[in-house]
Amino acid sequence: MPEQQPAFDPERFREEGRAVVDWIADYWASLPSRPVSPAMSPGDVRSHLPLQPPEAAEPLADVLADLDRIIAPGLLHWQHPAFFGYFPASASGPSILGELLSAGMGVQGMLWTTSPACTELETHVLDWLRGLLGLPERFASSGTGGGVLQDSASSGVLVALVAARERATALVTNHAGLAQDERPLVAYASVDAHSSVEKAAGIVGIGRDWLRKIPLDATGRMDVDALASEMDADAATGRRPFFVAATVGTTASGAIDPVAKIAAVAARHAAWLHVDAAWAGAAAICPEFREPLVAGAESADSWGFNPHKWLLVNFDCHALWVADRAALVAALSMKPDYLRNRASDTGAVIDYCDWQVPLGRRFRGLKLWMTLRMLGAEALRNHIRKHVAWAGEFASLVAADPRFDLLLPPNLSLVCFALQAGDDATQSLLDRVNATGQTFLTHARVGGRLAIRLAIGGATTTRDDVLATWRRVADLAD
Amino acid sequence: MPEQQPAFDPERFREEGRAVVDWIADYWASLPSRPVSPAMSPGDVRSHLPLQPPEAAEPLADVLADLDRIIAPGLLHWQHPAFFGYFPASASGPSILGELLSAGMGVQGMLWTTSPACTELETHVLDWLRGLLGLPERFASSGTGGGVLQDSASSGVLVALVAARERATALVTNHAGLAQDERPLVAYASVDAHSSVEKAAGIVGIGRDWLRKIPLDATGRMDVDALASEMDADAATGRRPFFVAATVGTTASGAIDPVAKIAAVAARHAAWLHVDAAWAGAAAICPEFREPLVAGAESADSWGFNPHKWLLVNFDCHALWVADRAALVAALSMKPDYLRNRASDTGAVIDYCDWQVPLGRRFRGLKLWMTLRMLGAEALRNHIRKHVAWAGEFASLVAADPRFDLLLPPNLSLVCFALQAGDDATQSLLDRVNATGQTFLTHARVGGRLAIRLAIGGATTTRDDVLATWRRVADLAD
């Protein structure tokens, strides 16, 4: 039996940390030569893992060997330069180093007092980011608002929905529970809003059926007249319109809802307006893309996007701003005796556990801070500009090929297209393209048709990768 | 302006990764010589941060210098060997390397198909861990159950509560919403249950007032007779008892609810039984501590604990098992068109996004796997055994000092004590002890009295640290 190694030892960590950093660097270097997606059947990975965990310690080298032998072949390589599916991973080295430092420090940011630097850096960096995106002053921590990091946009919309519910019912629901059988609360989002809105409506007890799915216009944006009609009709029959989620960049096609118009309708009913800019929001750091992305934000109660989707921060990192932080805290605060402390009691500090579902929280602000500092704002802008330009090129190639339909003009770096021959042909083409292992694309429904989506966003994706993907698609289209 | 560095470059990462690993190793080595808690006023950290983010890239060396100058002095050092507050951080080097690898791979585990290895390793390691803890077969993935990793016990109880709500209302709530004004659903937990149970009751629309807080017996455990009376009374008046949370190791005193007896009461009402073993559950890996911790688990619908609390895994890592995974999936599944895929449609795979609130998910299983492999099960048991033994020694010292009351026999590694002179004297002593910077303790209410809590769990804490803390407490008690 090998001598027991200490679990938490600086010198052991120094040595093993280097080996792991090298493994990651080697993995990154290997990405272009790997097939993007694995050829796996259910159970393949588990069939290589022993039935029982080890009683005695095993060396790192054995674990790394198993990463190569068992784990890496079972990965879809989200950071592959030819990954164009879903929304690609958008990690950078600096962000991963921030994640590592957060794990190495091991502090809890639930209360200001449980690590002041964790809370203050997060608040500060979210103020930075608000400025970079051109979001309105109402979201700044210097006023009544402020930003917070959550794991994902799903959690962001969940807490926004709870805050909205409590505002609509004067905190009665939080204590007495919902009564949806009588004057139900009604929420609204477009049919192409992210699934997390409907999921959250189920979780918080509103009920998925009380989320009205508003139809789209011809370009995939919420039909605001339809929204107004639905809200008016609900109000007229005694229901309570209380929440509208506008989508800035739908998952299917990247469509950007007309937020300012939606805001005007929501305001007539005093409904909470949440803007889900999960993917597209990042592009607001470029002045030339900003206007449609942040339009209407000055009337939004909450506005969120994922730096992990397109701003070179590794998953997970959702930035959520609220205009009235007191509304969020009132809905979510829960301070048992053992969390009470003088700093909280003065009201002079932020306790971020009151802004989220979990109590515990990592030092997530570090990775956003390190990304902004070690890359700089201008590099982030150029990163996004390149992708938008390449999507435009790709879309032109699609449009020029008579076998294809470009289903919409590209929204930022997202292109949706299909074969004129119909859905079955499009599905078959997508399968054949992905089977090459040379590129990876996913699908969506756009205007009722099956679409192949090209989402450009990978940290190492080049123009050549985009053009090669087009050639592959075009070659396999016959 | 420095030349722009690529954001995602293997060689840059190799070099900078080493520097960050070294920073962490140096930070760990420095811990014993740092004051445990910072002397900070609100705004101190932010006052050192520039108002605007940088336009151009800054070198890593500048960021690391700011970590030393601005961030580290603003941390409460959760990994300090003399940290005995809350529940100490329980990170190990191997777990942090797992976190780093997860970030380096950058895959999404939302669906099996989005990285089969991510899902299968997680399922597998949770089967391993189930065996190590001696949890019943019903939680194994080979049957109808299975395990999942979440960020925290708060999220674990939230999804359990939603699944319970849907089981009790045959999925009607998920669609039509709650009607708590008429035959309300009622949940139960002890007054010392974790605050996340009450918080979750608010979030999911049950209402915090419909969580009945059951009184404790003299040792801090839920009074099962009182539970039975409350449930019967609610049922008799047409309310619907649907959820009971038993606590295995309360935050205040570590008390372990009599789960088997609670299970019998819950079963009479067909209520969902959730066991929150967030901290104490880890000790079930030691056969000698297991019995009270897993007793009754064979009747539980869900059972969760935090490897990040005492099993040498870094935060965040909550392990949740359910006996009927279909109930969880039915409550939380949400598959828009763009997530549909053949593997999911066959039903032969786990899609973990259906087991949690967020859609996206990290490769969290890696850190648990690496911890188990690189430390081995026996080292984990010995880690826990030492802490329990030292808590016993500390408790004996308290009991032998006539100025102090040992408020309860220690529960595992948690000791609660107070000055006989009363709450004000106890609070003053706690403040003076923490002001030394040489040790860190927090408080709780135990049997109506203010208690000082000594929670042993740090990865580098030694017997000497525990004894020195006692000497400090005893010296300052006059």
Which chain B residue is nearest to residue A193, measuring alpha carbons?
Answer: B336
> What residues contact A254, with CB distance under 8 A and at least 6 apart?
A220, A279, A280, A410, A411, A412, A413, A414, A416
Mean pLDDT of chain A: 97
The backbone torsions φ and ψ at residue A184, rounded to the nearest 5 degrees and listed phi first, read -65, 150
Distance CA B279, CA B256 (A): 11
Number of A:B CB contacts under 8 A? 546
pLDDT at residue B7, rounded to an integer: 92
Q: How far apart are CA A198 and CA A157, in angstroms?
A: 10
pLDDT value of residue A3: 46
- Tokens matching residue B222: 């839920």
B157: helix, strand or coil: helix
Task: Give the closest residue to B307 by CA, choosing from B39, B159, B125.
Answer: B125
Please determine, looking at this structure, whether the domain spanning A1-74 carries the CATH number 2.170.130.10: no
Phi, psi of A155 (to 5 degrees): -70, -35
Parse chain A into domains and list their residue ranges.
1-74, 99-375, 377-476
pLDDT of residue B337: 86
Chain B interface includes A312 (CB < 8 A): yes
Q: Distance (Å, rounded) from C-alpha B64 to C-alpha B71?
A: 10
CA distance A111 to A345: 11
A429 vs B: CB within 8 A: no
**Dist. CA B174–CA B16, nearest whole Å:** 48
Distance (Å) from the alpha carbon of A189 to chain B's nearest alpha carbon: 14
pLDDT of residue A1: 37
CA–CA gap between residue B107 and residue B126 (Å, rounded): 19
Residues 160-219 of A with CB under 8 A from B: 162, 165, 173-182, 184-185, 194-196, 198-200, 202-210
Please give the structure tokens belonging to residue A470: 């087009």
Looking at the complex, report in whole angstroms how far the Cα of residue B326 sits from the nearest Cα belonging to chain A.
16
Nearest to B42 among A40, A112, A252 (CB): A112
Cβ B377 vs Cβ B220: under 8 Å: no
The yes-or-no answer to whether B99-375 and B377-476 have a common fold is no
What integer pLDDT is reported at residue B5 of this predicted model? Answer: 65
Answer whether B447 touches A (CB < 8 Å): no
For residue B218, the surrounding DSSP H or E stretch is none
Burial of A396 (0-12, 13-18, 19+ CB in 10 A): middle
When CB atoms are compared, the residue of A46, A152, A378 closest to B120 is A46
Q: Where are the alpha helices (DSSP H) in A169-246?
A: 172-176, 195-203, 224-236
Residue A443: which of A462, A424, A471, A463 has the closest Cα?
A424
Rounded to a whole number of angstroms, the CA Rg of chain A reads 24
User: In the block, which residue shows the tokens 């991973």?
Assistant: A89
Complex ipTM more than 0.85, yes or no: yes
Number of alpha carbons in the 13 Å side-chain half-sphere of residue B236: 6
Residue A478 tokens read as: 């016959």
Which of B8, B9, B359 has the CB atom closest to A152's CB atom? B359
What does CATH list as the number for B377-476?
Answer: 3.90.1150.10
Asked if A445 has any chain B CB less than 8 Å from its own CB, the reply is yes
Give the DSSP H or E segment for B152.
none
* Residues in A touching B329 (Cβ below 8 Å): none
Radius of gyration over alpha carbons of chain B, in Å? 24
pLDDT digits (tens, 9 = 90+) for A169-199: 999 999 999 999 999 999 999 999 999 999 9
Q: Which of A132, A174, A376 sits opposite B207 (nearest CB)?
A: A174
- Mean pLDDT of the region A85-99: 97
Q: Which of A361, A367, A366 is nearest to A110 (CA)?
A: A361
β partners of residue B371? none
Which residues 54-93 of A are in CB contact (within 8 Å) with B? 54-60, 62-63, 67, 70-79, 86, 89, 91-93
Q: What are phi and psi of A44, to 5 degrees?
A: -60, -45
Query: What CA–CA distance (Å, rounded) separates A324 from A302?
Result: 9
Q: Look up tokens 């750091």; give the residue.
A: A285
- Alpha-carbon separation of residue A152 from A47, A367, B110 (angstroms): 32, 15, 12
**Nearest-CA neighbor of B319 among B352, B286, B289?**
B352
Q: What is the pLDDT of residue A59?
A: 97
Q: pLDDT band for position A4 (50/70/90)?
A: low
Q: Are B253 and B261 in contact (CB under 8 A)?
A: no
Render each residue's pLDDT in chain B as its tens digit; 478 residues: 344 568 999 999 999 999 999 999 999 999 999 999 999 999 999 999 999 999 999 999 999 999 999 999 999 999 999 999 999 999 999 999 999 999 999 999 999 999 999 999 999 999 999 999 999 999 999 999 999 999 999 999 999 999 999 999 999 999 999 999 999 999 999 999 999 999 999 999 999 999 999 999 999 999 999 999 999 999 999 999 999 999 999 999 999 999 999 999 999 999 999 999 999 999 999 999 999 999 999 999 999 999 999 999 999 999 999 999 999 999 999 988 888 999 999 989 999 999 999 999 999 999 999 999 999 999 999 999 999 999 999 999 999 999 999 999 999 999 999 999 999 999 999 999 999 999 999 999 999 999 999 999 999 999 999 999 999 999 999 8
Which residues 352-381 in chain B show a CB within 8 A of chain A? Answer: 357-360, 362, 366, 369-370, 372-379
The neighbouring-strand residues paired with B450 are: B445
Long-range Cβ pairs for the range A423-426 (8 Å, 24+): A423/A449, A423/A450, A426/A450, A426/A451, A426/A452
Torsion of CA A66, A70, A76, A82, to 10 degrees: 70
Residues from chain A that touch B125, judged by Cβ atoms under 8 A, are 53
- Is residue A260 within 8 A of residue A227, CB to CB? The reply is no
Mean pLDDT (whole number) for A230-239:
98
Q: Quick check: A3 contacting B, CB < 8 Å?
A: no
> Is residue B132 a contact partner of residue B297, using CB atoms and an 8 Å limit?
no
Q: Domain B99-375 class?
A: alpha beta
**pLDDT tens for each residue of A27-68:** 999 999 999 999 999 999 999 999 999 999 999 999 999 999
Q: Using one digit for the tens of pLDDT, what is the confidence trace for B346-367?
A: 989 999 999 999 999 999 999 9
Of B7, B101, B206, the CB nearest to A312: B7
Residue type, B275: V
CA distance B296 to chain A (A): 24
Are A353 and A361 in contact by the 8 Å Cβ rule? The answer is yes
In A, residues 14-33, which contact B (CB 8 Å cutoff)?
Answer: 14, 16-18, 20-29
Q: By three-state DSSP, how is residue B36 classified?
A: coil
Distance from C-alpha of A183 to C-alpha of A164, rounded to nearest angstrom: 16
Amino acid residing at A364 = R
